[in-house]
A = this chain, B = another copy of it.
Amino acid sequence: MAKVTAEISMSLDGFVAGPNQTLDDPLGAGGDQLHEWAVRLKTFREFHGQEGGDVDSDDELLAESVGSVGAIVMGRRMFSGGAGPWDDDPNASGWWGDDPPFHKPVFVVTHHEREPLVLADTTFTFVTDGIERAVELARDASGDDAVGISGGADVIQQTLDAGLLDELQIHLAPVLLGGGVRLFNENDGRAQRLEQTDLRESPTGVVHLRFRTV
């Protein structure tokens, strides 16, 4: 059965977005620092239809990671960008533009029913039956490749808490954001030991950590 993996950049103080998120600044104050290691890379730029970019050990890691995933699960906020727009306009097309950088089937966990949305080679399917169903559909769509849980934090927590997550990759950025969205809220029931399976150092000072749930 397809492996379920999650991958996200986190600050040393545990935040995946900085304080004072807005629609214009969905990463919050300082949040862009979490992604500096990635946005400069060839693989990242290619996915976003841009040329150039660095080719180094980080690029190799990102290409590996992107290449291993056959379908994606994300939360509604990650689809529509920040809080709110879709609530106001259920037909909003998200914030990823006409050619979203996924190029794979994407399953959006949401409370709002909606017909699938096709944008270039990315199809967004909206799942209102919860995380289990979204992962099940993504598994069917991913073939032998992994299902990638791409965030936000709440969807990663849901996947972990439902016992659906096989692997968690954290890109730990050497920065303190002082607030924002935590990857891990308090939840006693989540307590568990993980197995650290991979560790790589980025030229940028970020540390790439990979864990297996056991």
Which residues on A are within 8 Å of B, measured CB to CB?
A: 12-14, 18-19, 29-30, 33, 160, 170, 172, 174-179, 182-184, 186-196, 199, 201, 205-207, 209, 211
Contacts and interface: CB of A to CB of B under 8 A. Distances in A.
Give the top 4 A-B pairs by smallest Cβ distance, nearest first. A13-B184, A178-B191, A196-B205, A14-B14
Contact of A207 (B30, B193, B196): B196
Contacts of A192: 175-176
A179 B30 CA distance: 25
B195 A186 contact: no
A189 B29 CA distance: 11
A182 to B, nearest CB: 8
B188 A178 contact: yes
28 contacts: A12-B170, A12-B194, A12-B211, A13-B14, A14-B182, A14-B184, A19-B186, A19-B188, A29-B188, A29-B191, A30-B191, A33-B193, A174-B194, A174-B195, A175-B191, A175-B194, A176-B191, A176-B193, A176-B194, A178-B186, A178-B187, A178-B188, A178-B189, A178-B190, A179-B191, A199-B199, A199-B201, A207-B209
